[in-house]
Amino acid sequence: MVKKRFRLSPPHLVILSFATIIGAGALVLAAPFSAKEQPLDWVDALFLSTSAVCVTGLTPVDPGSTLSLLGQIILLALIQVGGLGYMTISAFAAMLLRQRLSVTQRLSVEIMMGELVEAWRLLRYTIAFTFATELVGAFLLFWAFGRYELSLGERLWFSIFHSVSAFCNAGLDVFGLVGKEREWAGSLQPFAHDPFVVLTVALLLMLGGIGFPVVIEIVDKLRGRRLRWSVHARTVFTVNLILWFGGALLIWFFEHNNPITLGNQPLPIQAISAFFQSATARTAGFSTVPTGSLTAASLWLLCLLMFIGASPGGTGGGVKTTTVAVLTAATWSSVRMREQVVIFHRSVHPERLSKAVAFTLLAINTVGAATLLLCVTEGTLLAKGVPHGPLSLFFEAVSAFGTVGLSTGITPFLSTGGKLILVATMFVGRVGLLTLLIAIAGRSVEPVRYPFGEILVG
C-alpha cells in the first residue's frame, strides 16, 4: 500500500508561517536580552510580536522605553518579515538560489500579494521596490531629524526604523527614552509642525498600502511597457484619492475647533495633519494628534476608514478598497435595475462580487464579536467610565482587525483576556478571513447545480 504524502495547502502554509514567526518573535522579545530593564511578560511579548508581524502597531508597552537596542532590532525584523510576508521572502530566496517555485509557493505568494501578476515577477518587483523605497525614506528622515539635536546614532536608527515601520504600515515608534527626556508626546506628535517629516511618513505608508500589483503597473507605465491602466489599478487610485482627501476634509471639519487636536494650529498645519490622519487611519498607526482627544465624530470616521483599510497586495489590512468599490458598484446597479455590476466600463465577475460580500460580512461579524468579547473581559474598565467607554473598545477592535494600530490609549490597561482577543483579531485581520476559513473548511467541489428558489429581500 502506497502511503499518501502529506502536503500543506497554500492557506495552511500562509497561516502556519505567520503563526510560527509570531511565536518565535514572542519568545525572543520575552528574553532578558531584549529588554532594557525588566523583561516583558509573556502576554505583552506575544501581543507586541503579533502587532509587529501583522504590521498593526497596537502595543501595551512603549517599545523605545522597554526594549533594548537588540530588542528593537528584533522588532524591526519582525515588522519587515510581516510586511512582506514570510512566504514572499522564502520564495524570493529560493529564486536567488535558482530553484524553481513550487505550485504551493506560487499560490501562497498570490494569497499574500494578489492574483493579477505572475508570482516570479511580483516577487522581484516587490523586494526591489520595498527596499529601494525604505532606503530613500530613511535618507529623507535622516536629513529631517538633523534639526532635532539628536546624536548621529539616534538619527540613523530612528530614520531606518521609522522608514520601515511606515512603509510596512506597522506604525510602531521607538523614540522612547529620548522622547521622554525632551517631554515629547507619543508617536509623531512632536513633528506635527514639521511638514517634511509628516509628508515623508505619509508618502511611505501610502506607497505601502496601494498594493504591489499596482506598483508593478506604475513601473511598467514609467518604462513605457503599458499603454493603459488596468481596471484594478484605476479602481485603487480612485477609491484611495476619494478616501484620502474626503477623509481629510471631514477630519478637518470635525477637529478645526478642537483646541487639543487641530484648533490651536495654523491652517496649513491643520490641513497637513488632517490629511495625515486620513491616510494613516487606512493603514498605519502613526498619529500627529492625540487620538484619545479626537471628537466622537472623528473617531467614528476613523473606524470607517480603518475598516476599509488598504488595497489588495499591500502591507495594510481591512476589507480593502476594491471590495468597497465592488459593493458600491453592485448597489448602484441594483438601484438602476441593471443585471451587470460595472466598474470603468468592465463587468465584475459574479465570483468577485460573491467574495466581496462574504468578506465584508465576515469582517463585520469579526469586529462585532471582538467588541462584544472585549466588553465582557473589560467590564471593570468600563465601569470606571471616562475616558474609556464602549467606543474605545470598538475603536480598538476595528484598529486590530484593520491592522492599523491607532488607539485611544486603552491598550495598556486591557486585561490578559482582552489582549488575547486583540491578538486573535490582529492575526485574522492579517492572514485574511477567507484564507483562514478555507484552511479550516477546505474547498468543496459542487457535483450538482440546484434550481433557483425565490427569496424576498429588502
> Which pLDDT value is given to residue 180?
77
Of 250 and 316, more confident: 250
pTM of this structure: 0.89
> Which pLDDT value is given to residue 159?
96
Lowest-confidence pick of 355-364, 378-387, 422-431: 378-387
The alpha-helical segments, DSSP class H, found in 145-227 are: 152-167, 176-181, 195-209, 212-222
Provide the pLDDT confidence category of residue 39 given band limits of 50, 70 and 90: very high
- Asked if residue 454 belongs to a domain, the reply is no
Q: What is the dihedral of CA 310, 158, 29, 303, to 10 degrees?
A: -30
Evaluate if residue 443 carries a pLDDT over 60.
Answer: no
Provide the pLDDT confidence category of residue 1 given band limits of 50, 70 and 90: very low
- Asked if residue 456 belongs to a domain, the reply is no
Evaluate if residue 8 carries a pLDDT over 90.
Answer: no
435-453 mean pLDDT: 65
Provide the pLDDT confidence category of residue 272 given band limits of 50, 70 and 90: very high
% of the chain beyond a pLDDT of 90: 51
* Cell of residue 48, nine digits: 507586541
- Asked if residue 19 belongs to a domain, the reply is yes
Provide the pLDDT confidence category of residue 137 given band limits of 50, 70 and 90: very high
> Which pLDDT value is given to residue 229?
86
57-74 mean pLDDT: 93
Of 407, 230, 403, give the one whose Cα is nearest residue 306.
Answer: 403
Using CA atoms, how far apart are residues 9 and 6, in angstroms rounded to an integer? 10
In which residue are the cell numbers 477609491 written? 239
Neighbours of 324 (CB within 10 A): 21
- Asked if residue 255 belongs to a domain, the reply is yes
Are 370 and 422 in contact by the 8 Å Cβ rule? The answer is yes
- Tell me how many domains the chain contains: 1
Burial environment of residue 9 by CB neighbours within 10 A (0 to 12, 13 to 18, 19 or more): middle
Evaluate if residue 191 carries a pLDDT over 80.
Answer: yes
In which residue are the cell numbers 506635527 written? 192
Of 85, 29, 28, 31, give the one whose Cα is nearest residue 53.
Answer: 85
Evaluate if residue 399 carries a pLDDT over 70.
Answer: yes
> Which pLDDT value is given to residue 423?
96
- Asked if residue 14 belongs to a domain, the reply is yes
- Asked if residue 69 belongs to a domain, the reply is yes
* Cell of residue 229, nine digits: 491602466
Amino acid at 237: F
- Asked if residue 403 belongs to a domain, the reply is yes
Using CA atoms, how far apart are residues 80 and 92, in angstroms rounded to an integer? 14
- Asked if residue 4 belongs to a domain, the reply is no
161-167 mean pLDDT: 95
Kindly give, in sequence order, each residue whose CB lies less than 8 Å from that of residue 212, ignoring residues fewer than 6 positions away: 113, 114, 117, 122, 125, 126, 129, 313, 314
Using CA atoms, how far apart are residues 58 and 48, in angstroms rounded to an integer? 8
Evaluate if residue 99 carries a pLDDT over 80.
Answer: no
> Which pLDDT value is given to residue 126?
79
Lowest-confidence pick of 204-213, 242-251, 324-333: 204-213
The overall average pLDDT reported for the chain is: 85
Are 67 and 35 in contact by the 8 Å Cβ rule? The answer is yes
**What domain range is 73 assigned to?**
10-441
Are 27 and 15 in contact by the 8 Å Cβ rule? The answer is no
